[in-house]
Chain A
Amino acid sequence: MGIEIEKSCVVELSNIAVSNTHGEDSPYFAGWKAYDENPYDEITNPSGVIQMGLAENQVSFDLLEKYLEEHSEATTWGKGSPTSFKENALFQDYHGLHSFRAAMAAFMEQIRGGRAKFDPKRLVITAGATAANELLTFILANPGDALLVPTPYYPGFDRDLRWRTGVKIVPIHCDSSNNFQITPEALEAAYKEAESMNTKVRGVLITNPSNPLGATIQRSVLEHILDFVTRKNIHLVSDEIYSGSVFSPSEFVSVAEILEARNYKDAERVHIVYSLSKDLGLPGFRVGTIYSYNDKVVTTARRMSSFTLISSQTQHLLASMLSDKEFTELYIKTNRERLRKRYEMMIEGLRSIGIECLKGNGGLFCWMNMSPLLEKATREGELELWNEIVHEVKLNISPGCSCHCSEPGWFRVCFANMSENTLHVALERIRNFVDKLRASRF
């Protein structure tokens, strides 16, 4: 090795570092650039790009703000604050604040209408669901193994489940013929596909309610998936990050309820991921949790959470807020209502333009069907239409191909991260665009 330091002697980085499995080259993120370069503002930039690609919940901040105003001391550092500052600042135990875990468990129970019990001792804390999903993957699968994931799925899974873990995703293909529900045939087909590639399947990962579909998974389907993973002796991860955003509480069935009904038989293969980023609209706080019915997974996940704990300051704030049952009751109810209203506004608005969406019942977005408007019913056709929508109509929406949807023409459109006015503006723009498009074609 020469001693001369030459610039051309490029030092190597790891394979992970140079790969593009981080997924940021996907169109999912490309639309963001357009938004970043020209962001819409009601007053200062009314012709800018409206961000409809970001599944954020901004409809219920006022409730949280009011709570904070009325409970300032309790939420800051606690009783006798700020002398409790020291205890809080020192607290780095990976079990997490006991009060926080208890409050989270209770909150999760409330969301499920008390139909499932959660033991705080089985909750592991992580900095966001991003970390939770990656962490579980490290625990459940070896590099080269696979997880089966129904399509269409959240684009971030490509990074979260695969990038540093070396684990593969094998899609469980779903399509509009049955509203994108997961069928027994699709499950088997995915499993066989993995086998044919000599890849060991370690589990199934579902998102319930689904992103991007915005719909809950039916009980019978959940039962079948549970039977399937039991038969194959693999794991089931249920990402229930949108569980508190289901418009009508009775329509959400958590895998936890099914396990309880089965007296927890075969429960050790089931793990639930949750977060406050969507239901409470707090993505900045990095609050994720893993709930596992498997003792070894709980222990190991807890050890691994060392790499990604929740700030004790934030744990404290949320422990305070979420242990106030009156508040959480009010919040959950109001939030559901407001989301439902937004959803209906969106659906009605699109319907009046002649655009149909998948019938949804939860989440922060609609799954919009623009396939009739495609020049060509192909991925390229979809991307062409998408490009127009981003750059001409100036709406950043997410193309189905970025969610690995097998049918072209579907788009995910978020509706909870803007004011009602902005939503109206967006609908107007879509109307104008679609009218023009139809006129030019016929």
Chain B
Amino acid sequence: MSHQQLLSKIATNDKHGENSPYFDGWKAYDRNPFHSTKNPQGVIQMGLAENQLCFDLIEEWIRNNPKASICTPEGVHQFRDIANFQDYHGLPQFRKGVANFMSKARGGRVKYDPERILMSGGATGANELIMFCLADPGDAFMVPTPYYPAFVRDLGWRTGVQLVPVHCDSSNNFKVTREALEQAYDNAKKSNIDVKGLIITNPSNPLGTTLDEETLKSLVRFINEKNIHLVCDEIYAATVFSAPKFVSVSEVMQEMKCNKELIHIIYSLSKDMGLPGFRVGIVYSYNNDVVSCGRKMSSFGLVSSQTQHFLASLLSDEDFVNKYLETSKKRLAKRHRFFTKGLETVSITCLASNSGLFCWMNLRRLLKEQSFEGEMKLWRVIVDEVKLNVSPGSSFNCSEPGWFRVCFANMDDETVEVALKRIRAFVGRETNDNNNNGKRVEVKRWKSNNNLRLSFNSRRRIKSGYTLPNMYG
């Protein structure tokens, strides 16, 4: 039996994204994971956008609220009702709790209707679900670069939807311009590709920046004019730790004329609350038909009722939520400041950012060659010799080589110190090497070959797929 022939096209293509060379970074970490005492020479995981800074708050809450668990003597009387509850509307208290949390993360400037909240298998499931609702196989969604690598899988693998990149670059801090949007849209039209919408991540992964109000408004105007959908993945909403404050599409909608039916939000508790294991994905749509259809589809990825029950309790505790949001913000700010200051001591800059669990680090001056090959070479050195698993910009489909995403919220303070030490030592070595060899870092003229042209069939040598789907973000 020829196994290959007997599986579907979806099963045998590589849109799952795991065949990328970046797997090696993960392998390096898995083979030799850093541990402060047991393996201090190991690889430090800086490719995983996890938020580990506030577990103590949740743990304390759990100790004080045994009723929230159906496994405790205080909570077991609710076991059978919860275990039996498979209604795809979700527990009302859970939805209320999520709506409330979302609102608080936006400073109370917007209110969310629990009836519009749909569940899904993590944001991974939510992003796929919204595509199934809005686009047919072969249709396209525009997405600004650089973007989260797993979008290729989440938005396109089983849905058959294509991604049309809207290229952004450092000349204006990677902001999305009207020109870039128009260009991407027009090129798609010329190639007879049906663009059904635009998907943005705000705050941005990997940039760690929030969209300014003007840009967000211009995006809303754009999609209204073209009558296409706008999907806003706001999964990092509560990780905004410094000014400017977060402006959600929901707020902007309150201030401008727009067709609500086009606006949809993706959310999750995986980043803001550090609970990726609980698989809490949320689709929030202002379009009633999408809510209705999406709710039926959520059958394929409902949140465990045990988890809904626990979170309903946790999120309805106003004091806890307020304290959590405030503390998380402070700790993220502190960690960000510490890390970026540490990098500055060796003249490494990052894109100025106010959110997210990572920095967008500029290593262009360390490239031996200003090309993606150069970036790959540098990346290999960082993984194999410096022993830090960071994520190269090309994996995010960035149009400029030399940028790296470095996660800083998934480790303790000591580990951050170790990472910085290693970076300082490495940069010092690199600089010395160049000085000693009298070499100047070659700066090839960077050719913009693909960034304004769409090329669906041309395979970039470095694919933008990524690795171990659920172990990172």
Of listed A18, A128, A284, residue having the most chain B CB within 10 A: A284
Is A85 engaged at the interface, CB distance under 8 Å to the other chain? Answer: yes
- Residues of B near A18 (CB, < 8 A) are 289, 293
In the assembled complex, the Cα of A404 lies from the Cα of B262 at a distance in Å of 38
Q: Is A43 an interface residue (CB 8 A)?
A: no
Q: Is A68 an interface residue (CB 8 A)?
A: yes
- Residues of A within 8 Å of B426, CB to CB, are none
B227–A139 CB distance below 8 A: no
A61 at the interface (CB under 8 A from B): yes
Residue of B nearest to A15 (CB): B136
Query: Shortest CB–CB separation between residue B222 and chain A, in angstroms?
Result: 11
B328 at the interface (CB under 8 A from A): no
Q: Which residues of A contact B224 (CB under 8 A)?
A: 3, 5
Q: A127-B300, A283-B86 are in contact. Are A92 and B73 (CB under 8 A)?
A: no
A16, CB-defined interface residue at 8 Å: yes
Q: Choose, from A104-112, A130-138, A171-179, A239-247, the stretch at the interface.
A: A130-138
Min CB distance, B357 to chain A, in Å? 13
Q: Verify if B153 is at the interface (C-beta below 8 Å from A).
A: yes
Q: Would A89 and B275 count as touching, CB distance under 8 A?
A: yes
Complex: chain A residue closest to B296, CB-CB: A22
| B79 with A68: CB separation less than 8 A | yes
Cβ-based interface call for A250 (8 A):
no
In angstroms, how far is the closest chain B Cβ from the Cβ of A80? 11
Q: Are A306 and B470 in contact (CB under 8 A)?
A: yes
Which residues of B are found within 8 Å of A130, using beta-carbon distances?
299-300
Known A85-B58, A313-B278; judge A56-B84 contact (CB<8 A).
Answer: yes
Q: State how many residues of chain A have any CB contact under 8 Å with chain B.
A: 83
Partner of B82, one of A72, A90, A284: A284
Contact of A311 among B16, B277, B293 (CB under 8 A): B277
A162 within 8 A of B: no
CB distance from B220 to the nearest CB of A (A): 11
B214 at the interface (CB under 8 A from A): no
Report if A308 contacts B (CB, 8 A).
yes
Interface: A394 (CB within 8 A): no
Give the residues in chain A near B381, CB-CB below 8 Å: none
Contact A72 B289 (CB under 8 A): no
A262 within 8 A of B: no
The answer to whether B459 has its CB under 8 Å from any CB of chain A is no
Known: A68-B79, A82-B62. A300 touches B304 (CB 8 A): no
Query: Of the candidates B6, B84, B154, B261, which one forms a contact with A283 in the assembled complex, judged by CB atoms under 8 Å apart?
Result: B84
Encode contact with A along B249-278: 1 for CB under 8 Å, 0 otherwise: 000000001110110000000100011111
Q: B302 an interface residue at 8 Å Cβ cutoff?
A: yes
Choose among A16, A72, A142, A310 the residue that contacts B304 (Cβ–Cβ < 8 A).
Answer: A310
What distance in Å separates the Cβ of A197 from its nearest Cβ neighbour in chain B? 19
- B300 and A68 contacting across the interface, CB-CB below 8 Å: no
**B62 pairs with A85, CB closer than 8 A:** yes
Q: Is A317 on the interface with B (CB-CB < 8 A)? A: yes
Contact pick for A164, options B9, B55, B158, B310, CB 8 Å: B158
The answer to whether A306 touches B71 (Cβ under 8 A) is no
B296 and A284 form a contact (CB under 8 A): no
Of the candidates B8, B76, B134, the one whose C-beta lies within 8 Å of that of A68 is B76
B55 near A85 with CB under 8 A, answer yes
Contact of B80 among A65, A69, A128, A304 (CB under 8 A): A65
B-chain residues with CB within 8 Å of residue A131 when the two chains form the complex: 121, 300-301
Complex contact B305–A285 (CB within 8 A)? yes
Contact digits for A149-178, partner B, Cβ 8 Å, 1 yes 0 no:
000000000010001100000000000000
Residue from A10, A89, A94, A296 whose CB has the most chain B CB atoms within 10 Å = A89
Known A294-B3, A296-B11, A306-B469; judge A17-B289 contact (CB<8 A): yes
Asked whether any CB of chain A lies closer than 8 Å to the CB of B50, the reply is yes
Size band of the interface chain B makes with A:
35 or more
B468: chain A residues within 8 A (beta carbon) = 93
Query: A269–B1 contact, CB under 8 A?
Result: yes
Known: A68-B71, A72-B73. A285 touches B9 (CB 8 A): no
User: Given the complex of chains A and B, what is the CA–CA distance between A93 and B48 in angstroms?
Assistant: 12
CB-CB contacts below 8 Å: A222-253 with B:
233-235
Contact, CB under 8 Å: B136 / A14: yes
Q: Are A13 and B133 in contact (CB under 8 A)?
A: yes
Give min CB distance, B348 to chain A, whole Å. Answer: 28
**A9 part of interface (Cβ distance < 8 Å):** yes
Chain A residues closer than 8 Å to B382, beta-carbon distance: none
A22 in contact with B293 (CB, 8 Å): yes
Q: Given the interface contacts A76-B69, A296-B7, does A93 sit within 8 Å of B471 by beta carbon?
A: yes
Which residue from chain B places its CB closest to the CB of A297 in the assembled complex?
B7
A75 at the interface (CB under 8 A from B): yes
Q: Mark A67-81, 1 if CB is under 8 A from B, else 0.
A: 011011001110000
On whether the beta carbons of B257 and A5 are closer than 8 Å, the reply is yes
- In the assembled complex, the CB of B305 is this many whole angstroms from the nearest CB of chain A, namely 3
0/1 per residue, B1-44, Cβ < 8 Å to A? 10110111111000010100000000000000000000000000
**A17 interface neighbour in B128, B134, B228, B278, Cβ under 8 Å:** B134
Say yes or no: A92 contacts B471, CB within 8 Å.
yes
* Chain B residues positioned under 8 Å from A11 (CB to CB): 227-229, 259, 261-262, 287
Closest to B15 in A: A303
* Residue contact B302 to A89, C-beta cutoff 8 Å: no
Chain A residue nearest in CB terms to B293: A17
Least Cβ distance of B151 to chain A in Å?
A: 13
In the bound complex, residues from chain A placing their C-beta under 8 Å from that of B84 are: 56, 58, 281-284
- Known A266-B1, A308-B301; judge A303-B16 contact (CB<8 A): yes
Inside 8 A of B270's CB, which chain A residues have their CB?
A: 92
A92 touches B277 (CB 8 A): yes
A56 to B4: give the CA distance in the assembly, Å: 39
Contact flag A138-B276 (CB < 8 Å), given A61-B80, A131-B300, A286-B302: no
Residues in chain A near residue B11, CB distance under 8 A: 138-140, 296-297, 300
Contacts of B275 in A (CB 8 A): 89
B68-86 residues at the A interface, CB under 8 angstroms: 69-73, 76, 79-80, 82-86
Does B282 touch A at the CB level, under 8 Å? no
Whether the Cβ atoms of B8 and A69 lie closer than 8 Å is: no
A216 at the interface (CB under 8 A from B): no
**4 smallest beta-carbon distances between A and B, as pairs:** A284-B305, A312-B277, A311-B304, A283-B86
Question: Which residues on B are within 8 Å of A, measured CB to CB?
Answer: 1, 3-4, 6-11, 16, 18, 50, 52, 55, 58-59, 62-63, 69-73, 76, 79-80, 82-86, 121-122, 124-125, 128, 132-137, 139, 153-154, 157-158, 196, 224-229, 257-259, 261-262, 270, 274-279, 287, 289-290, 293, 296-297, 299-307, 310, 468-471
Some 29 contacts from A to B, beta carbons below 8 A apart, are A11-B259, A11-B261, A13-B287, A14-B135, A14-B139, A61-B83, A65-B76, A72-B72, A76-B72, A89-B277, A91-B277, A93-B468, A138-B11, A142-B8, A143-B137, A159-B299, A269-B6, A282-B83, A283-B84, A283-B85, A284-B84, A286-B86, A286-B302, A307-B128, A307-B301, A310-B279, A311-B306, A312-B277, A313-B278
Contacts A12-B196, A284-B304 given; 4 further ones with Cβ under 8 A? A1-B226, A16-B132, A138-B8, A296-B7
